[in-house]
Structure 1
């Protein structure tokens, strides 16, 4: 082979390498933009404030973590209903892409809109389920919706395929709710979502969360929930405020062994002997 032929082959190889490198950079930039857009969608669709009621303390933490170029669709929400009760929801959309983030917004807005028609947690999830099915999307979402009466401290809860909540009382007792749930939203028409009632004790807390906080390669779900329950029990005895507990719970997400969205919503009630 001539030296000229060898040089031509080398030049052609270099040109091809430059072209492939430029294409890879362009694709990476597109994917990076999609992730940034998805994160912006997530943050923009989350509530900017929390309801205020005598004796009730709400606190949230949200970490939109992602692995590589993926992003998830966890959300939380809290709003005051027309009758003065407080609606609380938390959930997780299946999938890790911009479509999941957009679908999360549809679920959250759908829950809020339908809550003005029927605020019963079970009926609300059933209506939202039918609404999502009518959209003919391939995605689905798990969700817990709670309705809190600040005056009576009655909590009414319904679950759609979501993990249970954690509770704790001022005397140090704590545990995981064992209420019956229904299927995730957007899968099965005619689904039923039973309602379970709890009482938010003086000085007590309820913790709503997504699986990114308590489950991963380094931590099975039951162990993660037990850890949050112990933490909530300590916080209730020590009179820690809801915000401090939410911060401590989200910190524990670092131990689950993978990067995923993580959302925490703490519902607390003041103790009578708490300092101002």
Structure 2
């Protein structure tokens, strides 16, 4: 299986022209294998009981805000942009031909705008650094529990569990690679903002960009597929619903989160992302909460 494609340019030089399409099919197969493998793996594990903490605060209400409207709007707009990008990037290769170039770069612009919005929103209205806590001991405990059902369950997390944070970091790196190379590649096409200039970089440089962009796109096939899979799993749907309606119930909050790390505040206060509460209480991440690592 080839990793990239090469061809001769008009001057007879052998240059990169993109990733091998074998990688696309490999990513699709890997995504299907992961979904099937994980579903079978889950069936081998006994159902875990999530005990509420012994010292439960008395004033935790029935509904706790997890995602403000601003956060949910970003998530769903970004999701649409990402899906359009993947469809326009790979479906034509599979045989369905349509005018994909305009849709692709327009979806790319939409993705860039949502990312810029998200960064500003996270820095200005959310606890930006809570997503970037490594949690080494938490990660080790999580890995041990995955490898062996006899290993104790990892400690309950704050608002953002370890696996959520790690997925976020990976998607940030891959998406930024796709965005940066995608913006540079847009110079090669005509848009309402400029006339194409395919000679801005050498063929060798363009080839490297194509490969990095393609590898990012192939990686996103697996990342997006796994994200959708987990969102649809029965035991995870309560998290998915929180991205639709904005809140989780008291039972799931106590089962999966540590009230000392994700503190529920009074309903009259604003959450960490600055949104006024709707129904129920508002919860915010406390970055100063004591960690075990």
Q: Taking structure 2 as the reference length, what is the TM-score of the superposition?
A: 0.21
Going by fraction, where is strand more abundant, 1 or 2? 1
Higher relative contact order (CA 8 A, sep 6+): 2
